Structure 1
Amino acid sequence: MSTSDDRRPLVDGRFRLESRLGSGGMGTVWRARDIALDREVALKEVRPPDPAVEEANPGLAVQLRERAVREARALARLSNPHVVTIHHIVDPLDGSHPWIVMELVEGRSVYDRLAEGPMPVPEVLALGRQVLSALRAAHAAGIQHRDVKPANVLLRRDGRAVLTDFGIAAFDGATSRLTSTGDLIGSPEFIAPERVRGEEGNPASDLWSLGMLLYVAAEGHHPLRRATGLATVVAVLDDPIPAPVRSGALGPVLTRLLVRDPAQRPDGALLDRLLAEAEAATKGAPAGAAHAAAGAPAPVPAPPVPGPYPHPAYATPTPPGGGFGPPTVPAPVPPAGSARPRLGGAMVAASVVLAAVLGVGLVKLLPDGDDGSDGTTGAKGRATPTSSARVPGSGSGSGSGSATPPSAAPEVRGSLLTPANVRAVLAAFREAAGTTTVKDLTIYEEYALADIPTRPGAKTYDAYEYRGGVARKTGPGGTISADDPDEQPFDAAALPWDDLPALMKRGERDLKVDDPTMRYVVVDRWTFNEDRPTLRFYLSNAYHASGYLAVDATGKVVSTLPAS
């Protein structure tokens, strides 16, 4: 590298470095002046690996160099106003790290914008269509971005979005070995679940990432961010996705997009139409009416949003009455049609490793010395699955039941997370759907959601919601894979709900989550409990600390994950 007359670094004898704009895992971006054309540009300097890291990972420098060249080639193949323009690539003959010369986008990233708080829904819709335009252009050219996230979307001063950083992009006909074997490519919070499982080559994966970006932009927090990277990856694969509450007409679009089966996501053309319809609904009607026009009930009213606050793209909702987040709906349920992942190969091995790390064992929940081995009762006053203390008419969960559905659900007061109130919720779901058999169930302190088979033995299910004492169907859910054991329905009434107070008490004591702001229960066939029906109690707080306790159908703790 030479220097200019004013002794500033000069790249390729032409590009004078002026100031650093930012840096990340792939390198550093500089503001520079092209002295040949007398214009400002952005130069991306590929970061050379640390010598110690290179020694431990032979060939890493070559990989980084290859990524830089791939980024330049990928960008050069695209012509779209929402894709950053590539001007030139400096590839030194001496083998030193290359430089990518790009247009200088005057503005800031979406991540920086979110430091002020969530974006208004009309702005998010416009952002979504613009980034989608970039992705559709890339997909048409055989390119997948693989790292769509707020930090990689820049906003020009007029508000238009520009997608950048194709450094880990994959395109048709090129090798996919960009990292050492086993490395996870992409940001855990925004990577699609199928990519976590090692499935590549599907443009729908970029659309999942876009959907998660739009969720963060509208809602102001990331729904699957956990205390550690590993916990986040597990959440991406397995955890319920909170239902949007601030997204207005965008909400139904997110519900259709953020499903774990890529085949059920809308493609680029359909997604653009859905976003356009949501834009039209937002412009032509008040928020509630626009939401209804998009095919969903009006969202829960949200309080005024204070700001600014730090790192909103990775924040969790804060407690009612303070900070950012909905006052009554901290973290709901999976969108309709969300499918649980099939774990195979490397992910099965990862499950075994995770189980070992968590110290999974059969530990009795209640410390009274009674292990419940008689098959009828455990601790005093606790009903087991063979007890009669169930929701009336739960039966086998077939949908017919042996009792007449109640004409009105039992009265519910206070938090739903009590044995009596859970049974009232299940009774309401049985009245609405004719059964307490579910594919999965999530209960929060103020509402609950369930995926319930459309009929006994059906391979389809509907989404249901319980709120304000009433259960109702909110729409079609999706399909139940006959080959996936963790998707098979079961009777939610057979879980040990009488143990819930003790479970929550133990969680408050052992999960090491200070000042928890969120409490909820997830019931499903859990991958890490051999796909058996499992009840997991979650705690989290405003500082990203989270943990859970999991119990099986006999009331025994099978897993504990305290906050790290």
Structure 2
Amino acid sequence: MRGGPGQLMAGRYRLTDRPELLRAFAVDEHTGESVLLRAVELPALLTAGQDPEEPNPGHGDRLVRRVAAVGSAAPAWHPRLLRGVGAFVDGELLWTVEERPAGWTLAELLTAGPLPPYRAAELAADLAGALRALHEAGLSHGNVAAESVLVCEDGAAMLGGLLDGVAQEALAEDLGGPGGRRRYEVRATLVGPVAERWPLDGGPAGDCWALGVLVQRMVAGRPPFPEVGVPELVTAVREGRREPSVVCGPLAPLAERLLQPDPTLRPTARAVQGELAALLASAPEPADEERVAREVELKPEAPLVPLRPRRRGRSGGVAPESGAARGGGSPRIPPALLGPLLVGGVFLLLVLGIVAVVLFAG
């Protein structure tokens, strides 16, 4: 895509920076809000049997209506769902438009490494709430992935990418038919080897499976299935060859159920939301840096002993331990007494000095 800051698209969206490949940030001049534009290509194959130099505008318009219908049916009121604004065709690209508050994608955050299990549970709970709202509205998402999750400045997660996923699936179906090898090839080109995007089944059960993959990606720093290529990924998913969910720590039982091949054995988004709420309610206090780095403390000539949690202060910080609690013998002198004791000591030395002078002179 060509263009740069200031360019107006669809008579409404003013670009705010130089666009990336098939993605651009803009301001909606009708509402003043920041939006994200994502695009999928409308290749000449859409007009099979026609001159590639003469694209079929009616086909693009039909895709726009299909995407817009899903956006209109989505529960825009939900605080954990990014609202889809609309879609439009510009040349050979179909663009979807989505609100974009300040934040970072989960994919960007994971480049720094995996997340602690309970932090991952907080984000997964937000996503489960968003999926629950969609499923109860009779919709499925189909694009649950790290790139579609926005982590806002307040730490909450919002699920986006709904319209982009609808556009990709609609294009794959139009080019390849409702099923079969051709549709698989087109979808592989559009989606790529992203584990969350290749469930064995679609609908709400497929969304929950994708959430299980994402949970393991957040905690382990990698997905449970190989992403070296689409054929290898799809084969591993079909054969159930994956890394065990034990790497997810306290989230392992939930991840294991979400990744069940049988969709009837997976929990619903509502059940996932409730289970994560219970897990977070029983979460331990935040640990200090030493405990994060090492879960056990090595004592000389003694077995490994678990570290004792430190007392919490009223403000939520870690209260310092007393000398007796550390095994350091007698307690320290309180800081408030140091001044008086020092003055008293100096005065005593002066008195002793005067007495010594008098005795020596006498």
TM over 0.5: yes
State whether structure 2 residue 80 is matched by structure 1 residue 82.
yes
State whether structure 2 residue 200 is matched by structure 1 residue 194.
yes
Amino acid at match of 2:72: A
TM-score, reference length from structure 2: 0.63
Q: CA deviation at 1:204?
A: 0.7
- Alignment match of 1:155 (pick from 151, 157, 173): 151
- Alignment match of 2:24 (pick from 30, 35, 48): 30
Question: Equivalent residue for 1:73?
Answer: 69
Question: Equivalent residue for 1:533?
Answer: none
Question: Counterparts of 1:110-129 in structure 2 under 5 Å?
Answer: 110-129=106-125
State whether structure 2 residue 13 is matched by structure 1 residue 12.
no
Structure number with larger C-alpha Rg = 2
Q: CA deviation at 1:7?
A: 8.9
Higher strand share goes to which structure? Answer: 1
Q: CA deviation at 1:192?
A: 5.0
Q: CA deviation at 1:228?
A: 2.8
Query: CA 1:141–1:112 in 2, change beyond 3 Å: closer, same or farther?
Result: same
Answer 1 or 2: higher relative contact order, Cα 8 Å, separation at least 6: 2
Question: Equivalent residue for 1:168?
Answer: 165
Amino acid at match of 1:32: A
Q: CA deviation at 1:127?
A: 1.0
Question: Equivalent residue for 2:341?
Answer: none
Query: CA 1:63–1:219 in 2, change beyond 3 Å: closer, same or farther?
Result: farther
| Contact in 1 for aligned 2:212/2:258 (Cα 8 Å) | yes
Q: CA deviation at 1:75?
A: 2.8
| Contact in 2 for aligned 1:246/1:302 (Cα 8 Å) | no
State the alpha-carbon separation in 2 of the partners of residues 9 and 285 from structure 1: 47
Question: Equivalent residue for 1:140?
Answer: 136
State the alpha-carbon separation in 2 of the partners of residues 57 and 110 from structure 1: 42
State the alpha-carbon separation in 2 of the partners of residues 223 and 118 from structure 1: 14
Q: Give the length in aligned residue pairs.
A: 270
| Contact in 2 for aligned 1:88/1:100 (Cα 8 Å) | yes
Question: Counterparts of 1:277-426 in structure 2 under 5 Å?
Answer: 277-283=278-284
State the alpha-carbon separation in 2 of the partners of residues 153 and 106 from structure 1: 12
Question: Equivalent residue for 1:229?
Answer: 230
State the alpha-carbon separation in 2 of the partners of residues 81 and 223 from structure 1: 29
**SS of residue matched to 1:240:** coil
State the alpha-carbon separation in 2 of the partners of residues 55 and 98 from structure 1: 15
Query: CA 1:20–1:259 in 2, change beyond 3 Å: closer, same or farther?
Result: farther
| Contact in 2 for aligned 1:32/1:42 (Cα 8 Å) | yes
Query: CA 1:64–1:124 in 2, change beyond 3 Å: closer, same or farther?
Result: farther
| Contact in 2 for aligned 1:65/1:98 (Cα 8 Å) | no
| Contact in 2 for aligned 1:83/1:134 (Cα 8 Å) | yes
Q: CA deviation at 1:193?
A: 4.2
Query: CA 1:194–1:246 in 2, change beyond 3 Å: closer, same or farther?
Result: closer
Query: CA 1:39–1:255 in 2, change beyond 3 Å: closer, same or farther?
Result: closer
1:442-465 deviation digits (Å, cap 9, x = unpaired): xxxxxxxxxxxxxxxxxxxxxxxx
Query: CA 1:70–1:240 in 2, change beyond 3 Å: closer, same or farther?
Result: same
State the alpha-carbon separation in 1 of the partners of residues 242 and 10 from structure 2: 48
State the alpha-carbon separation in 2 of the partners of residues 247 and 164 from structure 1: 24
State the alpha-carbon separation in 2 of the partners of residues 60 and 120 from structure 1: 50
Q: CA deviation at 1:39?
A: 4.0
| Contact in 2 for aligned 1:114/1:220 (Cα 8 Å) | yes
State the alpha-carbon separation in 2 of the partners of residues 109 and 302 from structure 1: 25
RMSD: 3.6
Query: CA 1:159–1:72 in 2, change beyond 3 Å: closer, same or farther?
Result: farther
1:50-107 deviation digits (Å, cap 9, x = unpaired): x4x5566978987665444433332332221121113344468xx8755444322322
| Contact in 2 for aligned 1:46/1:99 (Cα 8 Å) | yes
**SS of residue matched to 1:125:** helix
**SS of residue matched to 2:128:** helix
Q: CA deviation at 1:121?
A: 1.1
Q: CA deviation at 1:280?
A: 2.2
State the alpha-carbon separation in 2 of the partners of residues 252 and 222 from structure 1: 16
Question: Equivalent residue for 2:34?
Answer: 40
| Contact in 1 for aligned 2:39/2:95 (Cα 8 Å) | yes
Question: Equivalent residue for 1:261?
Answer: 262
**SS of residue matched to 2:119:** helix
- Structure 2 gaps of 5+ residues are 295-362
Query: CA 1:257–1:64 in 2, change beyond 3 Å: closer, same or farther?
Result: farther
Q: CA deviation at 1:42?
A: 2.7
- Structure 1 gaps of 5+ residues are 287-300, 305-564
Higher helix share goes to which structure? Answer: 2
Q: CA deviation at 1:187?
A: 5.3
Q: CA deviation at 1:236?
A: 0.5
Question: Equivalent residue for 2:252?
Answer: 251
Amino acid at match of 1:239: G
